[in-house]
Amino acid sequence: MRIPFIAGNWKMFKTGREIVTFAEEFKALYQDTDVKTAICAPYVYLGLLKNLFSGTDIKVGAQNAFYEEEGAFTGEVSVKMLEDLGVDYCIIGHSERRQYFGETDESINKKLKRLFRGTVTPILCVGENLRQREKEEQYLVVRDQLMGALSGISPEDAASLIIAYEPVWAIGTGKTATPEQAEDMCEFIRNAVEALYGEAVADQVVIQYGGSVKPANASEIMNMSNIDGALVGGASLNAKDFMDIIDF
Ligand code: PGA
């Protein structure tokens, strides 16, 4: 049985004071639920969030990490540092990092390998852009991203992976994939995982959809059989909206 998992991706939004306000509102709204919940925030606020959410079931995630242990890598943050803070999850390969920061399948693969050696669970993002969808290349693109990211990853590690399917054309655009489009690709991803690792692993892998998930569309997306969760950008910045999505 896969447990639904809804994570917020705050991207480069909110400062300390806004985070404290959010946490107060969110903890007041938060009810015991069967849905796993996390917020992925900028590095500088991960320690603050861990403190604010201590004693609750709300987990904390980073939005990136570097694969080297330590060294002269100005501006980077290691997985060991995330572990030191008790961070639970780490987004890897978000399309914005691929687009603006030169993230490649090769660096994503190294990051996943490093994360799997430790205690932080990776959320691997894949997804095609608009041009690729218009050319009907979405399956090829996502398959290549998966193969590149998962190269040399063991079945045991793959089973604990979270994969977020985020079509780039639906991110921050208000243009959600239809539940059928989202399900179709999440099923494709599960089949690709099965081809690589077998049925037992494919059954365990949690697959999220991301791209303009809102309270209004969360339940129809979450009702799809291959969609186990959501990665929520804009709507996770508001405590009430994010709670309504968790309550789908
Ligand atoms: P969005 O972002 O919900 O604002 O579309 C999703 C994401 O980029 O993870």
Could you write out the DSSP letters of every residue in 81-128? HHHHHT--EEEES-HHHHHHS---HHHHHHHHHHHHTSSPEEEEEE--
pLDDT attached to residue 155: 98
DSSP element (H, E) containing 37 = strand 36-40
- Ligand 1 contacts CB of residue 126 (under 6 A): no
- Ligand 1 contacts CB of residue 127 (under 6 A): no
The preferred substitution site among 92, 125, 171 for testing ligand 1, maximizing ligand atoms within 8 Å of CB, is: 171
Nearest to 103 by CA among 44, 112, 116: 112
Catalytic residue among 96, 103, 128, 166: 166
pLDDT attached to residue 192: 98
- Ligand 1 contacts CB of residue 215 (under 6 A): no
What distance in Å separates the CA atoms of residue 21 and residue 190, rounded to the nearest whole number?
Answer: 38
What distance in Å separates the CA atoms of residue 22 and residue 31, rounded to the nearest whole number?
Answer: 15
pLDDT attached to residue 172: 84
The preferred substitution site among 9, 100, 237, 241 for testing ligand 1, maximizing ligand atoms within 8 Å of CB, is: 9
173 CA: nearest ligand 1 atom:
5
Gap from CA of 72 to ligand 1 centroid (Å): 32
What distance in Å separates the CA atoms of residue 183 and residue 80, rounded to the nearest whole number?
Answer: 35
Q: What is the mean pLDDT of the chain?
A: 97
Nearest to 129 by CA among 171, 183, 178, 100: 171
Nearest to 111 by CA among 120, 163, 181: 120
Question: For residue 102, what are the contacts with CB-CB under 8 A and spacing of at least 6?
Answer: none
pLDDT attached to residue 1: 81
Residues of the chain with pLDDT under 70: none
